[in-house]
Structure 1
Amino acid sequence: MEPDPTVPPIFSPIPPAIHPRHADIDVQTAAWAETFRIGSEELRGKLVRQDIGTFSARILPEGREEVVSLLADFVLWLFGVDDGHCEEGELGHRPGDLAGLLHRLLRIAQNPEAPMLLDDPLAAGVRDLRLRVDRYGTAGQTARWVDALREYFFSVVWESAHRRADTVPDLNDYTLMRLYDGATSVVLPMLEMGYGYELQPHERDRTAVRAVAEMASFIITWDNDIFSHHKERSGLGYHLNVLRVLEEHHRLTPGQALDTAISQRDRVMCLYMKVSEHLARTGSPQLRQYLHSLSCFIRGAQDWGISSVRHTTPDAAILPPVFRDTPTDDSDQPLDIPAVAWWWDLLPKEATAPARRIPVQQGV
């Protein structure tokens, strides 16, 4: 078996940023996890050591502290669902039973007053989260948060079906579902809540704006797969990682798969920078803030990914402590992945210059 390849520095043209209250938010999120008994005692002990509050503070570096804390608690709750039930729990191999549980949790997210799962810690946690989403968001943002949660739940049931069948999805299917099973879309309404505005539908629903949000999800989830493959390869059921997909269906060695995944995310990063910069030149202040928050989400996930014990332990994975300024692949040609190839149709004709570093923008 070929040795596990070492992850090189990853291309990131986005500067780092972090909320000044990040340490306090970490403490608050650990306390929230204990109050609602999220996951088993063992899982909860792992989650509270993973700097999830700091991760949230990187996503919303100038955001309202209450929403940064809400986002941190929500991310920890998502890990409680994903680690506790989907990846490491028994339901992770029983898609029908998993779908039943997730539908009940979704009903509580829709209607917190519903008398269901009254003794379930995850249900109590999502009740609290929904009430806080209502407090800091609009009715429209709450509805989109619930809809995105439904998309995430649907995608992790798909994952469970692959675990049960012991199969590896092809690259196109994996790419499509990875846009949702990474739970990135569920964070998007909170990007607006964090700065106290609501992106208007005529901007948010534009094809190009939806596409850059998908590109951000692609970059975040590909980076996650790259940073976590060492940990996943050492465990059982290593099926749902882009490196595994490339090894299985494209007959690549682990090293070749890593190089290919990095090339793919670099090409998408270059496209993301060009399309988002084009949108920012003509968009409203709210759209510019939204695009800035997407970039903070990308960079925040990168900084957290290379430093959190979630990826560096156990078995001492060695991740790069720095990022590189140039991509390994800056081609303007679409990736050979039908689910996302249409993104390149949005490339502005004048956008031929290489991706550049973007300045840190203050809130609206």
Structure 2
Amino acid sequence: MNTMPQSTCTKLLDYSKLPSQIRLPDIIGYTSKVFATKYNPNQLQAEAESYQWFDSYDIIPESKRQKFFGSGLGLMTSMCYPGAQFERFRITLDFVLWLFTFDDMTDAGALDDVERMKLAIGLTMQVLQDPKVPTPKFRIAAALQSCFNRMRSNSSPSTTKRTIDAIDFYTKAVLEQKLNRKEDRVPTIGEYIQLRRDTSAMRIAFVGIEYALGLALPSEVHDDPIIVELALAGNDILTWANDIYSFPIEASRGDTHNLYQTIRNRVQEYIDAKAKLRSFGVKTDLEVAQYIQGIEHCVQGFLDWTFITPRYFGANTTKVKETLTVDIIAPVALDAAISVEV
């Protein structure tokens, strides 16, 4: 038996009881019967500009730049927002780069300290809520400020508010997750499902549909129980699949927030809910159709991207896609803590 480093182990993860491999269910084979995959033709141009913009903030350590920019986040954004025109697609990609970087900081150790994370969240919400606040020294917040002020300039007030609210839900959830990890507490299934819906950042991704496509959906649509169910189902399908796919890498970091769960029933519930969708009037129905298709593109695009990017399976991505068998990863050292400056 190999000796595994103990630096990231939690009391709740006994690596001696983990199998050396796990067999993945063919989730994409099922979801692809319901959700379509498309690509945005603006990807390459936007990717070049967006990566250069983000790199100018010098947030990613030199040792991780190639891995980060080679993970295919531009491709994922292309698959999640295939109908976006160039300007909106470019800004959406900027936003995605911020989101994944911030999320990695909360997961991989850079914001491992609770007080440091609280300060980072405070700066994040400040630049969202006050467009005139001075640029913070905390570079990831400065990047968000640049991106979000551009989004705000061509976004409806309701979409701007929903984006801020979605990020607020997300940051509160990742803080709660951090506290759970610190206390070696595993939430109940019910608590986990609700928390995971917010830590997944899919609320943010789905508001991104409205921005990327220039939609102006009224509150009547967002409050409709069928629309709510479609968004929840799409969130659950993608999130639970991601939990399965990311289990090896998250277990290697000592992360106990993961759920093995069947997705087939949730997909069927999505289909059933979609069939019950009422009319909101001819004009609004056209935008509702785009929004729902956007949910489906986000779900299927991210799932397909999982088997393209090296983010989850490294150099074995193609092999894992073909065999649906993935090796469990030995524990890894977390990133060094970063300074959070106002």
Report the TM-score range of the alignment, normalised by the length of the smaller protein: 0.7 to 0.9
Q: CA deviation at 1:287?
A: 1.0
Code of the aligned partner of 2:26: P
- How does the TM-score come out when normalised to structure 1? 0.77
Determine the C-alpha separation between the residues in 1 that align with 2:49 and 2:178: 32
Once superposed, what is the RMSD of the aligned Cα atoms? 2.2
Give 1:98's aligned residue.
117
CA contact (8 A) 2:135 2:142 kept: no
Question: Is residue 302 of structure 2 the alignment partner of residue 301 of structure 1?
Answer: yes
Partner of 1:18: 39
- Percent of pairs identical after alignment? 22
- Kindly indicate whether structure 1 or structure 2 has the higher relative contact order, using CA contacts under 8 Å at least 6 residues apart: 2
Equivalent residue in structure 1 for 2:172, among 151, 154, 160: 154
Q: Specify which of 253, 262, 267 is matched with residue 236 of structure 1.
A: 253
**In structure 1, C-alpha distance between the alignment counterparts of 2:317 and 2:230, rounded to whole Å:** 34
Instruction: State the AA in 1 paired with 2:320.
Output: L
| DSSP-derived class of the 1:106 partner | helix
> In structure 1, what is the Cα distance between the partners aligned to 2:319 and 2:122?
38
Match of 2:26? 9
CA change 1:43–1:81 in 2 (3 A) is: farther
**Gaps in structure 1 of 5+ consecutive residues:** 244-260, 324-364
Residue of structure 2 equivalent to 1:359: none
1:226 deviates by 1.4
Amino acid at match of 2:60: G
Kept in 2, the 8 Å contact 1:108–1:114? The answer is yes
Instruction: Give the drift of 1:318.
Output: 4.5
SS of 1:87's partner is helix
Between the aligned partners of 1:138 and 1:321, the Cα distance in structure 2 is 44
Q: How big is the shift at 1:170?
A: 2.1
Instruction: Find the residue that maps to 2:321 and give its secondary structure.
Output: coil
For 1:5, what is the secondary structure of its paired residue?
A: strand
Three-state SS of the structure 2 residue aligned to 1:146 is helix
Instruction: List aligned pairs for 1:27-42, cutoff 5 A.
Output: 27-42=48-63
Counterpart of 1:201?
A: 219
Per-residue deviation, residues 155-209 of structure 1 (Å, max 9, x unmatched) = 0001111221123222111110111101110122221122222011111111221
Q: Is the 8 A contact 1:95 1:158 kept in 2?
A: no
CA contact 1:7–1:320 (8 Å) conserved in 2: no
Output the CA distance in 2 between the equivalents of 1:196 and 1:115: 28
- Match of 1:108, SS state, is helix
Secondary structure of 1:307's match? coil
Aligned equivalent of 1:337: none
Task: Kindly state the Cα deviation for residue 232 of structure 1 after the two structures are TM-superposed.
Answer: 2.2
What are the ranges of 5 or more consecutive residues in structure 2 without an aligned counterpart?
Answer: 1-16, 325-342
Map residues 158-307 of structure 1 onto 2, 5 A cutoff.
158-233=176-251, 235-243=252-260, 261=261, 263=262, 265-279=263-277, 284-307=285-308
Taking the aligned partners of 2:253 and 2:78, their CA distance within structure 1 comes to: 32
CA distance in 1, matches of 2:102, 2:242: 18
Q: What is the total number of aligned residue pairs between the two structures?
A: 300
C-alpha distance 277-318 of structure 1, shift in aligned 2 (>3 A): farther
Please say which of residues 314-323 and 95-104 is displaced more in the overlay. 314-323
Superposition deviation, residue 237 in structure 1:
1.2
Report the Cα distance in structure 2 between the residues aligned to 1:71 and 1:49, rounded to whole angstroms. 18
